[in-house]
Each structure stands twice: as structure tokens, then as C-alpha cells.
Amino acid sequence: MGTKSRKQAEKESRRESILQAAEVIMTKGGLHSLSVDAVAQQAQLATGTIYLYFKNKEEILATLTIKARLQLLSAFEKVEQSDSTPLDKIKQIVQKNYLFYQENPLYYDLVSLYEANNTLVESDEMYKSSEKITHLVSRMIDEAKRAGTLNENIDIQNFTLCLWGMTTGILQLIKVRGNIIYEKMQIEPTHLLDTFLEILENGINKKL
């Protein structure tokens, strides 16, 4: 490896170590615990070194949000490429979103952060990462509609946005109130999700 290549590899490794340190901090203390000073301490670097790689903590958040979105996109792509029926694919992306929340709570919070906070400005790169997910879901809805399994009155673009909003809402309910709902009503989070999927399927299925 040449000197230039080695320096580039070292730079990329240092950048990744900074991001990993940020993940550790937020996993322990939540998104609002992130600061450049905390990252520097966790990564055992000088604060000034962090600024060589990221302008501020917002850029660190944005970078990790893109990473989280691409991971979610990868899970959706597997659904799109599966042999499931078009209608089942729509249900499966909701289930994949739930699994993403369970298995990657920090990444789920990062994805949700920009959905719930209108004071945060997304860069072009961030918007494109979100747009890829939207386009993929739209393709699956279009596939189901062309297969004749969806109500013909459903508008693909509108339903794509509504599906994302409804899924975000049910997952937020599970996250915030899931334990209380189970304690007071003995309803498991998975049962809430199953009920949502049943209502969803009944609502979008082609009327015979």
C-alpha cells in the first residue's frame, strides 16, 4: 500500500472510530447525550481532532442517520426481491420496520428523529437516502396494484406516505406505551402490530 493510500485508510479508520464512539454515547444516554466533547472523550481523541472530520455534532448525527436509513433500505430490498405475493410484501415491510426497531433501537431513533423534529434540516444526501426508501415502497405498492390485489382507487404516492406515517405511529405507540398497555390491558406489542396489519390488509385489498 502506498503512502497516499495508507493515509486515506487511516483517515477513514479514524472517521469510523469517531462514529462508533458517537453510537456508544447515544446507546447509553440517548440522542441528546451526544456532544463533540463527549465523542472526543469516548474516542480518546482531542476535541480539535473531531472537528477535522465533522463540522459539528449535527453532522455526526446526519451521517449516522444516513447509515441507519441505508440499513433499513437493505432490509426492504430483501422483501422486494423475495418471492412473496405483492400484498404480502407490503405487510412484510411493516414487519421489517418493527424488527428494525427491536434489533436496532438507536438506528430506529435516528430515523425517527428527522421525522419528528421540523427544526432539523436535511442535507441533499440525507434527503436522497430517505427518497430511496420512499421509491422502493412505492414500487411495491405499484406492483400490488398492477397485480390486481389492491383497491383500484388507491393512489400510490398518497398511500406510500400514509403507510409510512401509520407505521411510524404504531411503532411509536409500542415504544412509548407498549409496557403500560401490556400491564393494564395484557396486550402484547406483537398483537398490536398484527391488528394493524389486519386492518391495513382489509383496507387496501381489492373489493371483490
Share of the chain above pLDDT 70, in %: 96
Query: What rounded mean pLDDT belongs to the chain?
Result: 92
**Inter-CA distances, 96 with 2, 13, 91, Å:** 43, 30, 9
pLDDT tier at 1, thresholds 50, 70, 90: low
Interatomic CA distance for residues 6 and 8, integer angstroms: 5
pLDDT at 207 over 70: no
CB 36 within 8 A of CB 47: yes
Identical fold for domains 1-54 and 57-204, yes or no, is: no
Q: Is the per-residue pLDDT at 21 higher than 70?
A: yes
Domain range annotation of the chain: 1-54, 57-204
Residue of 151, 154, 73 whose CA lies nearest to 111:
73
The pLDDT of residue 3: 67
pLDDT tens-place string over residues 46-57: 999 999 999 999
Mean pLDDT of 128-139: 95
Q: Which pLDDT tens digit goes with each residue over 64-117?
A: 999 999 999 999 999 999 999 999 999 999 999 999 999 999 999 998 888 777
Beta-strand ranges (E) seen in the chain are none
**In this predicted structure, what is the pLDDT of residue 52?**
95
pLDDT recorded at residue 6? 76
Gap between the Cα atoms of 182 and 110, Å rounded: 26
pLDDT band, residue 120 (cuts 50/70/90): confident
Residues 6+ apart with CB under 8 A from 203: 151
- In CATH terms, the superfamily for domain 1-54 is Homeodomain-like (1.10.10.60)
**In the structure, what pLDDT confidence band is assigned to residue 4 with cuts at 50, 70 and 90?**
low
Residues 6 or more apart whose CB falls under 8 angstroms from that of 54 comprise 18, 36, 60, 63
Which residues does 160 contact at the CB level (< 8 Å), separation at least 6? 134, 137, 138, 141
205 confidence band (pLDDT: 50, 70, 90): confident
| Contact assessment for residue 17 and residue 43, using Cβ atoms and an 8 Å cutoff | yes
User: Nearest-CA neighbor of 92 among 75, 106, 74, 110?
Assistant: 75
The terminus-to-terminus CA distance of the chain in angstroms comes to 65
What number does CATH give the domain 57-204? 1.10.357.10
pLDDT of res. 180 = 94
Average pLDDT over residues 114-136: 85
